[in-house]
Amino acid sequence: MLKREEWYDLATRLDWDFSYVSEEEVFPPDIAGKTSIPREIWVKEYDAPYKVTYREYVKNQRDKDMRVLAVKDAAQRGNLFERLDRALKSNWLFHYGGVPLAEYQAGVAEARMARFRRAGEWRNLATFGCMDEIRHAQLQLLVPHSYVKRDPRYAWAHKTMFTEEWGSIALRRFFDDQFVSTDAIETSIQLTFLFETAFTNLQFIAMANQSYASGDYEFGNLVQSIQTDEARHAQIGVGVAPIMVKHGEKEKFQKMVDKMFWTTWRVFCVLVGCTMDYQIPVEERQMSFKEFMEEWIIAQFERLMYDLGYELPWYWDIFLEELNYQHHAFQIGLYCWRPTIWFDRKGPSPKEREWLNEKYPDWDEKFGPIWDVIIENINNGKIDKTLSPDLVLLCNTCNLPICFPHPGETQLHTLTYNGRKYFFCSEPCKWIFEQEPEKFAGQKTLFDRFLAGEIQPPTIEGVMKYMGFEHPEEMGDDSWNYEWARMYAKT
């Protein structure tokens, strides 16, 4: 028997020349990636830091699955669901509705790299990546399935991506641009280098830590298990980036990173920002969203870019300023449109408000007055006044609500393309659209569809039905049943 290091390179870097067909026929540029870098360079220089053999992979994955299933059984026998805070569980609903089928699509993206990239090690890592993502999809469908009998909204793990719910449209747009409608090189940078290395890998570590701290070991164990896969297959892009930077495709690389960092930031504000700063029990919060972004995401991303000799995105100052505001604005938006989402939201209790002011010194000045109106309406029994009666303008790039992070200051950005007017939440979202208008111009947000008469009848009831909400028990609600607001009346 040969030792691992004696056969590893030979097995994993296997490549050969074609004699009966052309290179282009085997690796069509539209799907393999248009690149001016010759194949010899990709083959010779591609080197991922993470080494794993198939035998090791299978054994590790089997062990990991066994642990997830064992913890799941123990948690459900111990009635964990009944014991946890409802605001905390609304994060599960959000996560399971948005993530499992996107994981499955990431598996398709990995498969594209596994077949179409011109370096053996890249193809091998992507083969493992593809199996990882199928596993993530399956586990994150399995766990919520056990909760459907307690709350029908857990069925949204399967349902969301097949609806025209506005958040689902936004998520699909994001994933399509990132790794579904892309070639194998774009996938490696946008999905593995940017989204996974810079964002989700770290987010999953933080999410696991936070879950354990909240006594939620089932969810913590699940995301930790997934994170260990991400840490491996995210290395695919780490092998690609230096080759592009070194061999004349730095500008192309920079553009992809600039686009994807911003749109990921937008999704993160909603998915992670609102969750960390509003939905986790305040005494269990380990850090604020801003601290998490600064200490985990930004510090690592800046170092990664610096090591590659790459510049930070042009909008860096805008981004740093938004860290203080954007997700607070989104939380108000989600709260006031809660029947149009499949998970619950709540406002800050007096104790949480103190915490928010400590973490974000001008929180009370900016957002306090808006919450005060909501609180007053709740305490006067006017719940209907806490719901927005109108449709909201959605950004034509990120598809998320155009919320003004500084209340009262309009920052709407617009442009006209082929006779149609487009709206954007921010300068970077407008810039992204301008880079590839032909790619984005035909995409319609829920708001665009309503204006175009595609939603019938054109009433709130018609819109709710169009989005897939037929029963009130499927809609988002106040996760504390307004108790957070009543606390103000008592003090």
* Site for Mn ion, rule CB under 5 A: 103, 133, 136, 230
- Compare residues 196 and 448 and give the one whose CB is closer to Mn ion: 196
HSE-CB at 65 with a 13 A cutoff on CA atoms is 15
Residue (of 269, 298, 218) closest to 402 by Cα position: 269
Q: With contact defined as beta carbons under 8 Å apart, do 64 and 225 qualify?
A: yes
Give the Cα separation of 186 and 193 in Å (integer): 10
- Compare residues 136 and 346 and give the one whose CB is closer to Mn ion: 136
- Compare residues 235 and 279 and give the one whose CB is closer to Mn ion: 235
Beta bridge partners of 421: 416
Q: How near is the Cβ of 103 to Mn ion at its closest, in Å?
A: 5
Q: Is residue 41 packed enough to be buried (19+ CB in 10 Å), middle (13-18) or exposed (0-12)?
A: middle
Q: With contact defined as beta carbons under 8 Å apart, do 344 and 477 qualify?
A: yes
Residue 42: what residue type?
Answer: W
- Compare residues 236 and 332 and give the one whose CB is closer to Mn ion: 236
Q: How near is the Cβ of 97 to Mn ion at its closest, in Å?
A: 16
CB atoms within 10 A of CB 211: 24
Q: How near is the Cβ of 196 to Mn ion at its closest, in Å?
A: 5
- Compare residues 103 and 478 and give the one whose CB is closer to Mn ion: 103
- Compare residues 257 and 467 and give the one whose CB is closer to Mn ion: 257
Q: How near is the Cβ of 207 to Mn ion at its closest, in Å?
A: 13
- Compare residues 103 and 477 and give the one whose CB is closer to Mn ion: 103
Angle at 98 between CA 463 and CA 467, to 5 degrees: 10
Q: How near is the Cβ of 200 to Mn ion at its closest, in Å?
A: 7
Q: How near is the Cβ of 227 to Mn ion at its closest, in Å?
A: 9
Helix (H) or strand (E) holding 103: helix 100-116
Q: How near is the Cβ of 201 to Mn ion at its closest, in Å?
A: 8
Give the Cα separation of 465 and 164 in Å (integer): 9
Q: How near is the Cβ of 325 to Mn ion at its closest, in Å?
A: 30
Question: Residues 332-358, buried b or exposed e (16+ Cβ, 10 A)?
Answer: bbbbbbbbbbbbbbbbbbeebbebbee
Helix (H) or strand (E) holding 414: strand 413-417
- Compare residues 121 and 230 and give the one whose CB is closer to Mn ion: 230
Q: How near is the Cβ of 256 to Mn ion at its closest, in Å?
A: 17
- Compare residues 230 and 258 and give the one whose CB is closer to Mn ion: 230
* Cα dihedral 462, 466, 470, 472 in deg (nearest 10): -80
Give the Cα separation of 405 and 411 in Å (integer): 9
Beta bridge partners of 417: 420
* Cα–Cα distances in angstroms (integers) from residue 274 to residues 50, 264, 316, 330, in the given order: 34, 15, 21, 7
Q: How near is the Cβ of 50 to Mn ion at its closest, in Å?
A: 13
Helix (H) or strand (E) holding 100: helix 100-116
- Compare residues 195 and 301 and give the one whose CB is closer to Mn ion: 195
Residue in the shown chain whose Cβ atom is closest to Mn ion: 136
